Amino acid sequence: MIIQPIQANYDPYDIILLGTSIATVGPVPMFFGMNIWDFIIFILIISFAEAVYSPMINVFTFNFTRPGHEGTFLTLTDVPIYFTMALTGLVGGYLLENFYPVEEDETHKK
């Protein structure tokens, strides 16, 4: 509700810059301590920033496409995210298997 008038009146690129600028402030509460309230403030800042810039990414992406090819172009712009998720799953599984084993032994301690 609060963000929609801003998104309607400004250029998508400017809104993306605003949202990512707000997101960079997100980790600041962690400098003051590592307690539950700092984590909550971090999550609130990051969530608000994503609410600002996330819808505008699609609008910004659609500005580069030819009419009728929006879906294909949007899918191609999301390909790096899919590869990143697959790589993260593989690396996470490897790290869990080798550095946090189910059974503790002399070479691998929990």
pLDDT tens by residue, 38-53: 999 999 999 999 988 8
- At 17, the amino acid letter reads L
What digits encode the pLDDT tens for the residues 26-35?
A: 999 989 888 8
Residue 73 lies in a domain: no
Per the prediction, the chain carries an average pLDDT of 84
Q: Which helix (H) or strand (E) holds 55?
A: helix 36-62
pLDDT of residue 108: 63
pTM higher than 0.85, yes or no?
A: no
Is 101 found in the same domain as 54? no
Q: Which two tokens stand for residue 42?
A: 């971090």
Radius of gyration of the chain from its Cα atoms, rounded to whole angstroms: 20
Residue 21 lies in a domain: yes
Tally of domains within the chain:
2
Q: Which two tokens stand for residue 105?
A: 């032994």
Cβ 48 vs Cβ 15: under 8 Å = no
